[in-house]
A and B are shown apart, each in its own frame.
Chain A
């Protein structure tokens, strides 16, 4: 284990990147699904 001064949370950054991509995909999917179904307003 690296000492605390050297600790770089690379795994954390990777997980957050995956999270943001998931967010965009899921949000986009919901949005496109709703567009396909036709807006009500």
Chain B
């Protein structure tokens, strides 16, 4: 069976579609609150009009963060990875019931977490730092979402093992390889937050223990928090590496480089969480330095990714007649909304990377920490590099799954460009405000200390947020229009999976062996985190009671 002829069964398509549906509903609801924050910064506070449904800025911010950064991403990613594993390995899931159990666990968890947020009993934002204390259902719900995603991951592993048994000696097809690796990364990364939930936050919220150690909780959280970014990013990279080149008429520049980059992300993305804790007094400076060095080391696979992806695009563009040192970019099929969305996402992601390096530098971080620079940065990464890419992916994946033609592709293309323009205005203003000292997670429209030099930038935050909201509406219009369209595709949508320039059989075997890389990743985590975790646990200070500050 070739890649072109393999097709998911209707049941498999339905299973993947359910993931995407939940993800998009979460994005739709979460996106409603984005402009509310942006408008508030610009001096137009609409929150009072939402009483008594939404009681505060912080309840809205929690909904925005949880639904967009956690739910939209996790559900879209588990759905997309499920698709990649099945399509990449060209075989059904080994135990589909296991994956269904995982999915429904995620749904139960989502509902459990959503109820206290909607009742204003969990306005602790998506980082849920103690000693802010939420209702227990919020913590248990989020834990179930993670556990459900683990169970789906176990389903991937069984499927991969079955494929390996059937195909000894063959190189794992890239999209399946990268998807399983992403799940391995996720399962290692979420150990931190799992320990935080099970040993501290859940017993605390249930009244089994009275007090918590906020410092240790932050360490657990950021053990998960930074690699979480790579759990968001790697599925986007799968598309950029292996799908986008096909969409532009080219090939993957190097299968080997792509796999090497993914292994390096697995190796390096976990043991660097202290760079989020540069201002934490409970972490010794030496360990902050170690994690800073490891943080900068992630720049290497990031540059590998940039090189390989752009080279793949250049190959396709030149095949289409593109010429010149830079002019070939114009020969890419910008009219295809799926391509345009992903190219624009990648372009802004470049700047997200630059902001990330500023955050990672110790002395610069001390100035930028907890300023609007940080949300400005992650709106370029997760809210554009990842989200706009997922939107682009959905422009071919939803027609594939539903058998319906994409509704109004022109509107979809406008959506991508509006997101790009809106995000430039919004994010640039947030970065500049951060450099000027504006605090994040603050209703700046109410703040009495706002200097005049912030005003024009705060207005730009509102304008950018408004444009992003229009773009989001267009996205949902296209998705709903496609789902309910009566126009079916003439033949099944071709899944864009690019061949590599060199035959995959030439990829070195060591790039397709799991054990050394996984053991090395675990060893590096033990080295970079072990001593400090041991110290923090040994000196645990369960001193802080819970606070409800909203």
Contacts and interface: CB of A to CB of B under 8 A. Distances in A.
Contacts of B549: none
Interface in B304-349: 306-307, 310-311, 314-315, 318-319, 321, 324-326, 328-329
Contact of A23 (B318, B329, B357): B357
A22 B348 CA distance: 13
Contacts of B357: 23, 27
A27 B373 CA distance: 13
B318 A1 contact: yes
A29 to B, nearest CB: 9
A14 B325 contact: yes
Contacts of B353: 23
Given A7-B315, A9-B311, A34-B367, A16 B303 contact: yes
B367 A26 contact: no
A10 B321 CA distance: 15
A39 B367 contact: yes
Decide if the interface of chain B is mainly helix, strand, loop or mixed: helix
Contacts of B435: 30, 33-34
A14 to B, nearest CB: 5
A12 B366 contact: no
B350 interface: yes
Given A23-B357, A40-B366, A12 B314 contact: yes
Interface size band for A: 20 to 34
**Residue of A2, A9, A12, A27 contacting most chain B CB atoms (<10 Å):** A12
Interface size band for B: 20 to 34
Contacts of A11: 310, 314, 324-326, 328-329
A35 to B, nearest CB: 9
A15 B364 contact: no
Nearest to B367: A34
A10 B307 contact: no
Interface in A1-25: 1-2, 4, 7, 9-12, 14-16, 19, 22-23
A12 B303 CA distance: 11
Contacts of B329: 11
Given A11-B326, A30-B358, A33-B435, A4 B501 contact: yes
A4 B328 CA distance: 17
B314 A27 contact: no
Nearest to A22: B354
A16 B318 contact: no
Contact of B364 (A12, A19, A30): A30
Interface string B428-466: 000000010100000000000000000000000000000
Contacts of A7: 315, 318, 501
Contacts of A23: 353-354, 357
Nearest to A23: B354
B310 A40 contact: no
A12 B501 contact: no
A41 B310 contact: no
A15 B351 CA distance: 13
Contacts of B358: 26-27, 30
Interface of A: 1-2, 4, 7, 9-12, 14-16, 19, 22-23, 26-27, 30-31, 33-34, 37, 39-41
15 contacts: A4-B251, A7-B318, A7-B501, A9-B253, A9-B311, A11-B314, A11-B329, A14-B326, A15-B326, A19-B306, A34-B364, A34-B367, A39-B366, A39-B367, A41-B366
